[in-house]
A = this chain, B = another copy of it.
Amino acid sequence: MARKQGSHSDITGPKVRAAALRLIARHGYAAVSMRQIAAEVGIQAGALYNYTPDKQTLLFDLMHGHMVDLLGAVEAADFDGTALAQLEAFTRFHIQFHLPRADQVFVSYMELRNLSDENFATVEAKRREYENALERILRVGEVEGTFHIPDPRITTMAIIAMLTGISNWYRAGGRLETDKIEAIYWDMVRRSVTA
């Protein structure tokens, strides 16, 4: 089972996904052609089909991969301590994870419409799982008495929308910038759920 001589699939595969991600984030899935993606990689359109059975699967792999990475990172973060400490950790985690992944975030929230029904259900389930991680923290804080939250589900959606919205205006910037953004948003999140 030795790898074939001249095989570049271990290099070209990632390049295909990177090119697709970049182009789809920029122009949208429906507006990007397989020919454009191939040109970006430096191969012909036909050769793309060595790396994906079709365009739909390529989109799904990008979106699903992003959600798998996100859930894996959440699990690894393993928030603990008081509800307030967990909420701060979650807030900073969300910002730190999403800021360097502008294209993935954009595609994952804009291209849901272009997934097949089955692929949509799979991606949506993972997104729900992520939301639930935050909702659990809010409910713990409510029981603790730290938080005052009339409707944990709505507050979950509100906080995630606020944090994800950073991607709408954030551009480039180094570590210090990120620190400051984290501080400002954590301040707002904290105040919005405490008495």
A residues near B (Cβ < 8 Å) are: 26-31, 110, 113-114, 150-151, 154-155, 157-162, 164-166, 168-169, 181, 183-185, 187-189, 191-194
Contacts and interface: CB of A to CB of B under 8 A. Distances in A.
A168 B131 CA distance: 13
Chain A's interface: helix, strand, loop or mixed, by majority? helix
Contact of A165 (B29, B30, B157): B157
Given A28-B30, A30-B28, A31-B114, A169 B157 contact: yes
A161 B157 contact: no
A181 B165 contact: no
Interface core residue of A113, A155, A193 (most chain B CB under 10 Å): A113
Top 10 closest A-B pairs, CB basis?
Answer: A161-B165, A30-B30, A192-B192, A30-B31, A162-B162, A188-B192, A158-B162, A191-B192, A191-B191, A157-B169
A155 B188 contact: yes
Copies of this chain, complex-wide, total: 2
A191 to B, nearest CB: 5
Contacts of A193: 188, 191
A169 B154 CA distance: 9
A31 B101 CA distance: 25
Contacts of A29: 28, 30
B150 A184 contact: yes
Contacts of A30: 28-31
A119 B8 CA distance: 42
Contact of A157 (B154, B159, B168): B168
A130 B146 CA distance: 35
Given A155-B184, A158-B166, A161-B162, 14 more contacts: A31-B113, A150-B184, A154-B181, A157-B165, A157-B166, A158-B185, A158-B188, A160-B165, A161-B161, A161-B165, A161-B168, A164-B165, A191-B192, A191-B193
